[in-house]
Amino acid sequence: MNSLFDKFAEAAEKRDSLSQLGTNPTQVVMERAIDATTAQINGKPTILAGTNNYLGLTFEPECIDAAKHALTQSGTGTTGSRMANGNYADHVLLEQEIAEFYGYPQAMLFSTGYGANLGTLAALVGPGDVVMLDADAHASLYDGCKLSGADIYRFKHSDPDSLDKRLRRLGDRASSALVAIEGLYSILGDYPKLSEFCDVCEKYGAMLLVDEAHSLGTMGEHGRGLSEAEGVLNRVDFIVGTFSKSLGATGGYCVSRHEELSLFRYTSRPFIFTASPCPSVVASTRAALKLLREQPERRERLWTIATRLYNGLSDLGLTLGPQISPVVAVRCHSAEYAMSVWQRLLAEGVYTNLIVPPASPDGSSLIRCSLSAAHTDEQVEQIIAAVGVATAGQNAT
């Protein structure tokens, strides 16, 4: 007799194989957060080299004080959606500040970054519409497209020529297509030539959505992401992102140069039926956004140590992602080897991310590091040394 639980057999096998490592990578417990770059794991201080805390703002006094004040003024939660009873003054202020930050007329706030992609895509496209997705696009972009009911086509990762061929095959439908790509891809730390994607979209009349989740705060002169870094903010139609990385909070957003974004709140089910972000999170996010704008030295520091880590790991003879960025990935020749390297790194006091199929975009296995502006030079050297110990005597690739 079949059971609803039969589908979980494969998941159980994966769980059991991971548990054989001694510490299951999916169940690591940070027993105590010490600061922005250190936590107690398995009873000892551990360098956090896989948390996406790019600007190191999670323990910033201004952000913590803002959250505390909001708790006393507005309570712990909204207990409702923006459309019902959860629309607070700070939600509106954060939307205004995000829109002004990008120089766009409209912004829309979501409860999570995942929800921002679901909510934007569910409102923007529907049955009969076409979405062109980068082959390595984040799961939230795929899920948003599935929720919308639009026709989904994939093109080769970061390949504008592949997109051009796909749009050409659409014929007249190309002029109403949406192209979705990312600013900084979170697994290998690579980023596309965004201006070339703008050229292709403009050639066919398609709209362009850029997910800047990992590039907000890390790229561009003012931290507005790859769109700013390449000077194409006026050519991108929609930018989505999250507050859970560079801004050290939770929540997500969509900004656009199109006034129609203001109508999404009436049609986006993930927005309409989700409780709005709690006041303390909105307050800390506003404080973090202010610091992002006022302290460009954090971003400069981040790239300095990212370059040091990338070059240091390259000097070990390891194969890394194709570009230097705050995300540094070490390719491994097998999932089993990647698991053993991850375990050794944890034993050396360095927490990283283990990525194995099917989570990896190209079927490879790798160890992923993400740096923070709060990492010290000594910590970066410790990470390099730990990777050297974990991979000693074996070629990772």
Active site residues: 186, 214, 245
Nearest to 348 by CA among 310, 393, 385: 385
Report CA-CA distances (Å) from 269 to 122, 148, 244, 252.
7, 10, 22, 15
Label residue 149 left, alpha or beta by phi (over 0 means left) and psi (-120 to 50 means alpha).
left
CA distance 270 to 267: 9
User: What b/e string do you get for 273-287 counting C-beta neighbours within 10 Å, with b at 16 or more?
Assistant: ebebbbbbbbbbbbb
Q: Is 300 left (phi over 0), alpha (psi -120 to 50) or beta?
A: alpha
Task: Determine the Cα–Cα distance for residues 383 and 38; give it in Å rounded to an integer.
Answer: 12
Q: Check: CB of residue 348 under 8 Å from CB of residue 41.
A: no
Dist. CA 295–CA 97, nearest whole Å: 17
